[in-house]
Amino acid sequence: MSREAPETGEESKAGGIQVIARAAAIMRTLSEHPQGLSLAAIAQAVKLPRSTVQRIVCALETEYLVEAMGPSGGFRLGAAVGQLVYQTQTDIISLVRPYLECLSNRLQESVALAKPAGEKIHVIDRIVAERDLRVVFPIGAFAPMHSTSAGKVLLAGLGDDEVRALLPDPLPQMTRHTRDLPALLAELAEIRKTGFTFDHEECSEGISAGSVALDTYLGRYAISVVLPSARAARHVEAIQEALLACKRDIERAIGRTACQR
């Protein structure tokens, strides 16, 4: 009768990593199906044998990370997941600020983090550029969504009917460059393709800004580079490149898809 050789330390470590990866894949799959999934459906989604999935799900259920859905069958994420998320919901400002500082240093321009507040945006953090000619704005400031690049990238996450329901019609003209509703809707369609927009003095004379939307498990935000219009036009491409890179870095770290493979 042959006997299996004992696992070496490296083999044991590799096996443990594989189990964790498989458990993570199962939990990600369940997170995408809050209505729950059967063991067979989970196995098909993660491309593992049903017996392997059942063994891992039972272990997760013991830790309340997965729960059975009762007589109807199937499994969903358990209460412990919500508790872990609640306990780790660090302030978005603390998480994002190092990235904002890097972005500001890279471009030598002021940078803002904003969130939606009804039909306005609310600036919740900012880095002011250290240079002679710069834009300075207060934390806590509000501005209309329709006339700011930050507001427009956030509006682009909505459907046109939702935008119409949210914004007044006609739109208030903040400057002679502010778009009307048809022009705004056309621009939102383009933003949905590129993920970026730039406003030239649409909210305030002499000030321009470029923005991208930021999707995180803490919500949807906008990052903006705000600068004097006098030097804006020749830097749009560099601002777009830097903002999209910053967005990728942040979403890789704390985004909705941070753990996807």
pLDDT above 70 coverage of the chain, percent = 88
Q: Is 3 domain-assigned?
A: no
- Domain span at residue 65 reads 9-86
User: Which of the listed residues 86, 113, 139 is the one where a domain comes to its end?
Assistant: 86
Q: Distance (Å, rounded) from C-alpha 117 to C-alpha 19?
A: 43
pLDDT value at residue 90: 59
User: Which of the listed residues 30, 54, 86 is the one where a domain comes to its end?
Assistant: 86
pLDDT value at residue 10: 59
Residue 19 sits in a domain whose CATH number is 1.10.10.10
Asked if 225 and 158 sit in the same domain, the reply is yes
Residue 214 has pLDDT above 90, yes or no: yes
CA 166 to chain centroid: 22
Asked if 56 and 177 sit in the same domain, the reply is no
- The residues with which 113 forms a beta bridge, in sequence order, are 125, 223
Asked if 51 and 123 sit in the same domain, the reply is no
Asked if 69 and 138 sit in the same domain, the reply is no
Number of domains in the chain: 2
pLDDT value at residue 3: 46
Q: Is 260 domain-assigned?
A: no
Residue-wise DSSP of the chain:
---PPPPPHHHHHHHHHHHHHHHHHHHHHHHT-TT-B-HHHHHHHHT--HHHHHHHHHHHHHTTSEEE-GGG--EEE-HHHHHHHHHT---HHHHHHHHHHHHHHHHTSEEEEEEEETTEEEEEEEE--SSSS-----TT-EEEGGGSHHHHHHHTTS-HHHHHHHS-SSPP-SSTT---HHHHHHHHHHHHHHS-EEEESSSSTTEEEEEEEEEETTEEEEEEEEEEGGGTGGGHHHHHHHHHHHHHHHHHHHBTTTT--
Mean local confidence (pLDDT), 203-231: 93
User: CA neighbours within 13 Å on the CB side: how many for 230?
Assistant: 4
Split at pLDDT 50, 70, 90, the class of 217 is confident
pLDDT above 90 coverage of the chain, percent = 64
Give which of 96, 191, 109, 84 is closest to 145, Cα–Cα: 191
pLDDT value at residue 85: 62
Asked if 116 and 224 sit in the same domain, the reply is yes
pLDDT value at residue 59: 94
Query: Tens of pLDDT along 20-54?
Result: 999 999 998 988 887 789 999 999 999 999 999 99
Query: Tens of pLDDT along 71-86?
Result: 767 898 888 877 776 5
Asked if 211 and 145 sit in the same domain, the reply is yes
Q: Is 149 domain-assigned?
A: yes
Query: Tens of pLDDT along 86-103?
Result: 555 557 888 899 999 999
Asked if 138 and 237 sit in the same domain, the reply is yes
Asked if 122 and 75 sit in the same domain, the reply is no
Asked if 103 and 147 sit in the same domain, the reply is yes
Asked if 101 and 49 sit in the same domain, the reply is no
Q: Is 221 domain-assigned?
A: yes
Split at pLDDT 50, 70, 90, the class of 244 is very high
* Mean pLDDT score of the chain: 88
pLDDT value at residue 137: 81
Residue 141 has pLDDT above 60, yes or no: yes
Q: Is 196 domain-assigned?
A: yes
pLDDT value at residue 236: 94
Residue 226 sits in a domain whose CATH number is 3.30.450.40
Asked if 152 and 54 sit in the same domain, the reply is no
User: Which of the listed residues 86, 116, 135 is the one where a domain comes to its end?
Assistant: 86
Q: Is 161 domain-assigned?
A: yes
pLDDT value at residue 81: 78
Q: Is 28 domain-assigned?
A: yes
Asked if 40 and 137 sit in the same domain, the reply is no
Mean local confidence (pLDDT), 127-146: 89
Query: Tens of pLDDT along 150-207?
Result: 999 999 999 999 999 999 989 999 999 999 999 999 999 999 999 999 999 999 999 9
Q: Distance (Å, rounded) from C-alpha 227 to C-alpha 103?
A: 13
Split at pLDDT 50, 70, 90, the class of 1 is very low
Whether the ω angle into residue 6 lies within 30 degrees of 0, i.e. cis, is no
Split at pLDDT 50, 70, 90, the class of 14 is low
Q: Is 117 domain-assigned?
A: yes
Residue-wise DSSP of 78-111:
-HHHHHHHHHT---HHHHHHHHHHHHHHHHTSEE
